Amino acid sequence: MSRRTRPLLLLAPALVLLGGLFFAGLGLGLVRSFRYMPALGLDTPDLAAYAAILQSGTFLASLGLSLWIAAASTVLASILALGTALLLRETFPGRALIGFLVQLNLTIPHVVGAIGILYLVSQSGSFARLAFAAGLVAVPSDFPPLTHDPLAIGIILTYVWKELPFIALILLANLQAIPPGHEAAARSLGAGRWQVLRHVTLPLLMPGLVAASSLVFAFAFGAYEIPLLLGAHAPEALPVATWRGFTAVDLMHRPEAYAMAMIVALVSAVLLALYASFALPRRARP
């Protein structure tokens, strides 16, 4: 086996999976989004599906909601994860416990978390009843709507709860890879703790933070189960709207669902590319 074929062979399973499932699926979806489905009698590709959804107010509302959910979850989870990672790097009593809780969190599925959030913060949940018992609200349903609400607070809470440990663990690994002298050198050059964080630690962490938060953003933007469980009826998050398009009785809705899926993919790709080029200045790259 030559030195050139060996890596190719080792890569083959991954390439087959990626190429076969991902690119073929994407390609098929793209073709169908152009309303080319001969089985349904659609044999001339056109852009009518795109035109229809871009003109419909519900699609744009769904797109906006999904962007809001993804952006708010990513920003909140990133900031909290940064604090957690910086904290976990120090030694203090209880550090091991916090480290354990953070990792434990990773093992709980999203759906389980969403149900937990539902039990806790919905208008019939534990917090609402506690607030009622404490006399803070007249009836439990006066508790502010945090699930199935237009601001998607329940959804964002679930994502922050679930993705925080994920980002924190990646940042912690990155922190441990920073040569320990850099921060001490900065201190000795006259930088205070915050200046060290702002000018040395954060820039050195940026590649890890961008990678981790990009994954979180893409996931929160495209995932279906949490908005389905905790989202309002209108507008609904884009993945939910897309899935309803696929499962509609009228098969002629399919091209619109495919077009929505394509737009989800395109928006994710463009936003992540912009984010990477903005957050990773040329000099931070190796």
Partner 1 sequence: MTLELRDVTKTFSDDASSGVRNVSLRLPEGQLTALLGPSGAGKTTAMRLIAGLLAPDSGDILLDGTSILPLPPERRGIVLVFQNALLFPHMSLAENVAFGLKMRGLPRDETARRVAEMLDLVQLTGLGSRRPHELSGGQLQRGALARALVLKPRLMLLDEPLSSLDVALREDMRDLIRHLQRATGVTLLMVTHDQSEAVALADRIALMMAGRLIQEAGPDEIFQRPNSVATARFFGGTNFLPGRADKGRFISSLGPLVLPPGQPNGPGVLTIRPEAVQLVDGSGDVRAQVTEKLFLGSQTRVRLLADGVPLTALVAPDRAEALSPGSWIGVRLPTHALWVLPAPAAD
Compute the least distance from the CB of residue 50 to partner 1, in Å.
42
**Count of chain residues binding partner 1 (CB under 8 A):** 21
- Which stretch, 80-88, 152-160, 189-197, 236-244, contacts partner 1 (CB under 8 A)? 189-197
Q: Is 188 in the site for partner 1 (CB under 8 A)?
A: yes
Which tokens belong to 172?
A: 């912690």
171's tokens: 């940042």
- Contact between 223 and 239 under an 8 Å Cβ cutoff? The reply is yes
> In the set 129, 187, 244, 253, which binds partner 1 (CB under 8 A)?
187
Q: What value does the CA radius of gyration of the chain take, rounded to a whole number of Å?
A: 23
The set of residues, in sequence order, having a beta carbon less than 8 Å from that of 235 and lying 6+ positions away, is 58, 61, 62, 64, 65, 150, 241
Determine which residue in the list 19, 43, 95, 182 makes contact with partner 1, applying CB under 8 A: 182
> What residues numbered 202-261 form the site for partner 1, per CB under 8 A?
203-204, 206
CB of 193 to partner 1, least distance (A): 8
Residue closer to partner 1 by CB (options 116, 203) is 203
Q: Does 177 engage in binding with partner 1 (CB under 8 A)? A: no
Binding-site member from 58, 195, 247, 277 for partner 1 (CB under 8 A): 195
Q: Which residues bind partner 1 (CB under 8 A)?
A: 179, 181-182, 184-192, 195, 199-200, 203-204, 206, 283-284, 286
